[in-house]
Amino acid sequence: MHYSFFHGKRANVSIFMSIFDSAPSRSIFSSADGAMALAAKESIMSASHAADASALDANADVDLANTDERLYNHDLAPVPRARRTWTGYSIFAMWMLDVHSVGGYTFAASLFLLGISGWQVLLALTIGILIVYVLMNWVGKPSLVHGIPFPVMARVSMGVMGANLAALIRGVVGIVWYGVQTYFASKAVATLLLLFVPSVAAWRTTSFVHLDLLGWVSFLFMWLLQLIIFQRGMEIIRKFIDFCGPAVYVVMFVLMGWILYRAGLGSLNMTLGGKVLSGDDQLHAMINAILLVVSYFAALLLNFGDFSRFAKSERQMKIGNFLGLPFNFVAFAIITAGSEKVFGTMIMDPVEIVSRIENKVWVAIGSITFIIATMGINIVANFVSPAYDIANLFPKHVDFKRGGLIALILAVLVCPWIFVDSPKAITIFVSVFGAVLAPMYGVMMADYYLVKCQQVKTAELYTMQPGGRFYYDGGWNKVGLAALLLSGFVSVGWELSTQLLKLLPANNLGWLIGAGAGALLYVVFMRMANRH
């Protein structure tokens, strides 16, 4: 099969999109195609596919009669226009929950230990988040245009069967992250139990697999609570995000105001790491901080399409991303810096800050806020994607809800608390997992924008016919597989050699190396395949 890099005028696309595109995204389906597909639908759609008729209405070239049961179910189908109800506010509310979580706070606080001043931390956070904003818009657009989740989008570059490997990699990382965030939220549950039932402190004397009885009870409570929400489906998830996002915002800014009031704005200590770097070391530390921010969002940089597919338009998606991403981490910096003045020591865990407030009502409100916020990030970043990924592996037998249940069970079995027992462990965890996911991002973006030039026919993503554009070689794009594995070997090897083996100074370049190598190798390999 030959792969053309330029399709006449279609090649004139700009990857560097404007921040807000006032014009709505053009439809990729002509009215003639829609009429033909509608006629085909009426004549050949079987009873087993009747429930999915709405998906055909919005994506008229998806002929349900030709879909393969190994590639298609209701949850993997393109989202019909009528169900694309997410506005800029919905995405903004999603980011409220995603950023204002226990894990997000702890990660942001760890940046103060790098030995740079407060303004340098804030600058690094701002630059990192702006980079994430651009990258998020890039990955969100394909799913928005075609209405498809990440596992289906991965078929464009990896093949209809090869995408299972990409989904498996992302799913495993998402499951581990889900467990980690559930553990963070369970600490807030434990705080509430100790506040209102002090006798449960005795449960801390018994432990199993490095977690005491109080920790297990709190962890399993959070596990069950999230299961109840997740099993209600994506629309309930959207409503949960829309309601809880602003509530979390209000409480977080009240906490920030309380810290400022107690500490005094002029007395904030913005250099908290116990060491102060100078010269080139400061620049090196700032670059590390920027790269850590990007790595922290590595999971969502793959599966943001699971949410953008529900957005009303590209403009709404960009507005929600812009309002939700660049400004949130500033509150973390202020709260962290103020904690040392108020309590005499820098506190990395926001739950501990809340627990030290001398008012039971505010302790309860703060703890519940962090519980809600962490459930939010688990929904956004760590549950939806593994649920879709597992459903993509076995679409005939597993739907979104069953895939989510499997992911929840696996999240307990990995014992996630072991991965994040210190601030240093958190930065290593973020860097290594970012290096694992980065190559897939590079491959997907290079393929969609540089190789396919944004020209994708949605119907061919659901067929196993050998003549299909994404069938490649038996359903596998060996070029994409080679680029993914080679770049992954380089990026993960780099992180292991710097973070764990200490062969080189730690520099958190894993995500950048992985994404860059993935994109470069994919483009080079595809050109070589085109010549031969």
Q: Which residues contact 379 (CB under 8 A, 6 or more apart)?
A: 97, 226, 229, 230, 237, 240, 241
The proportion of the chain whose per-residue pLDDT surpasses 90, expressed as a percent, equals 24
> What confidence category does residue 395 fall into, taking pLDDT thresholds of 50, 70 and 90?
confident
Both structure tokens of 4: 């053309």
Both structure tokens of 201: 């402190």
pLDDT for 270:
52
pLDDT score of 16 more than 80:
no
Instruction: Give the position of tokens 């915002």.
Output: 249
Cβ-contact 472, 478 below 8 angstroms: yes
Q: Which residues pair with 207 in a beta bridge?
A: 212
pLDDT for 41:
36
The Cβ of residue 401 has, within 10 Å, a number of other Cβ atoms equal to: 15
Rounded to whole angstroms, how far apart are CA atoms 499 and 497?
A: 6
Rounded to whole angstroms, how far apart are CA atoms 493 and 487?
A: 10
Nearest-CA neighbor of 141 among 445, 469, 458? 445
The Cβ of residue 358 has, within 10 Å, a number of other Cβ atoms equal to: 6
The Cβ of residue 496 has, within 10 Å, a number of other Cβ atoms equal to: 16
CA angle 450, 317, 11 (to 5 degrees): 20
Q: Which residues pair with 473 in a beta bridge?
A: 476
Q: Which residues pair with 208 in a beta bridge?
A: 211
Burial of 257 (0-12, 13-18, 19+ CB in 10 A): exposed
Per-residue pLDDT tens digits for 457-494: 898 999 888 888 999 999 999 999 999 999 999 999 99
Per-residue pLDDT tens digits for 169-228: 888 888 888 888 888 888 889 988 998 899 999 998 878 888 899 999 999 999 888 888
Q: How far apart, in Å, are the Cα atoms of 40 and each of 55, 343, 516?
A: 14, 69, 43
Cα 189 versus chain centre, distance: 24
Give mean pLDDT, residues 9-22.
37
pLDDT for 234:
65
Give mean pLDDT, residues 450-455.
93
Whether CATH 1.10.4160.10 fits 81-430: yes
DSSP 79: P
Which of the residue ranges 156-165, 342-351, 441-450 has the most confident prediction, judged by mean pLDDT? Answer: 441-450
CA angle 82, 86, 88 (to 5 degrees): 140
Q: What number of CA atoms fall less than 13 Å from residue 502's CA on the CB side?
A: 0
> What confidence category does residue 508 fall into, taking pLDDT thresholds of 50, 70 and 90?
confident
